[in-house]
Amino acid sequence: MVNVGMVQLNINTYKQEEFFNKCEIYIEECSRNNVQLVCFPECFNYQLELGNSLNNQFDSEDSKECIDFILKMARKYKLYIVCGTLISENSKLYNTAIVVSPEGELLGMHKKINLTFFEKEIITAGENVHCYETHVGKIGLLLGNDINSFTICQKLLDENVEVLICLVQIPSEFSDSYLSIVKARTIDLDCFIVVASGCGIKDNTNLTFKGISNVYSNPHLSGNNKLFEMDHGKDAFFEGVVYGNYDLESFRNKRNQVYRPNKITIS
C-alpha cells in the first residue's frame, strides 16, 4: 500500500521564509504518518501571483531556492515529493511540475502544455510528457487543464502510466466538472489519479478555490472510484494535509487480467 499526502495550501501568498516553514511542518506531518509520496499544488510557491511576471518581477532565484528546498526536504524525510512551480529557461517562463526522489534527486519535470487563455499571455507551453519509474509506481505528471486533452493523456497511456499526478489551482466554479474529467480519465488511462490542489479565497480578486485534493482509481481495478472520501462542500477551504492511499500490487495484478481497449493507440 502506498500512502499519499496531498498538501492542500491556501492560494494567498506568504513571505518566503514563513512559507517554507509552513511546508516543512506539513512534510514532517506526512513523514510521521508513514506517507511515501507528498504532493503540492500547481505553482504552489507563487500561489497564482503570475501577474508579477508581466511587471518583470519574476525572480528565477526564487524558483531555484524553492527547488533546492524541495530537494532538501525529500532527502531529509526520505519521501517522494511532487510540486508545481515556475521555471525560467532561455528567457521563457514555464508552469512546471517536478518529481523528486527520497534521495533528494530531481527525477524529472513536466512543463504545462494545455495553457489557459490567461496563461498564454505569460507562460510558454511545454511539448512533451514522460513517465518516471519509482518505488511508488510509474508516475506521470500533469498540470491544471492538461488533463482535458486526451491527446496529452494518450501519450501517458502509451507509456503505461500507473499513477497520474495532477497539480491544480482551479476556481470553485470549475471544480465539479474537473473532477468529472478526473474520474473519466481513471477509466481512459487505467490508472490511479492523485489530485493536489489549492484552496481559499483570493485576496485581490475574491475568486474562490475549492480544495479538491483526492486519490481516484479505475472502478474496474479497485473497490470504488474515490479511495479517499472528502466533503468538498463543508471542507472545501481546509488547508492542511489530505491523506489517501492506493494498493499498487493489487492494481498491477488486476490490470494484467483486464482487457484494455483504450490501450489501442489512437492515430
How many domains does the chain divide into?
1
Q: Is residue 265, in this structure, part of any structural domain at all? A: no
- Is 263 part of a structural domain of the chain? no
Q: HEC profile for 39-105?
A: ECCCCCCCCCCHHHHHHCCCCHHHHHHHHHHHHHHHHHHCCEEEEEEEEEECCEEEEEEEEECCCCC
Q: What is the mean pLDDT of the chain?
A: 85
CATH of the domain at 60: 3.60.110.10
Task: Write out the residue range of the structural domain in which residue 113 sits.
Answer: 2-258
> What does the pLDDT look like over 219-258, one tens digit per residue?
777 654 444 445 545 566 788 999 999 999 988 888 877 6
Q: How far apart are CA 165 and CA 142, in angstroms?
A: 6
Q: Indicate whether 82 pLDDT > 90.
A: yes
Q: Is 110 contained in some domain?
A: yes
Please answer whether residues 166 and 147 qualify as being in contact, where contact means their C-beta atoms are separated by less than 8 angstroms: yes
Of 86-90, 143-147, 191-195, the poorest mean pLDDT is in 86-90
| 153 in a structural domain | yes
For 244: left if phi > 0, alpha if psi spans -120 to 50, otherwise beta; the answer is beta
The answer to whether position 267 is within a domain reads no
- The separation between the first and the last C-alpha atoms of the chain, rounded to the nearest angstrom, is 36
Please check whether residue 264 lies inside any domain of the structure: no
Three cell numbers, residue 169: 489551482
Mean pLDDT lowest among 13-27, 78-92, 105-119: 13-27
Residue 57 counted as domain residue: yes
Q: What pLDDT shows up at residue 106?
A: 97
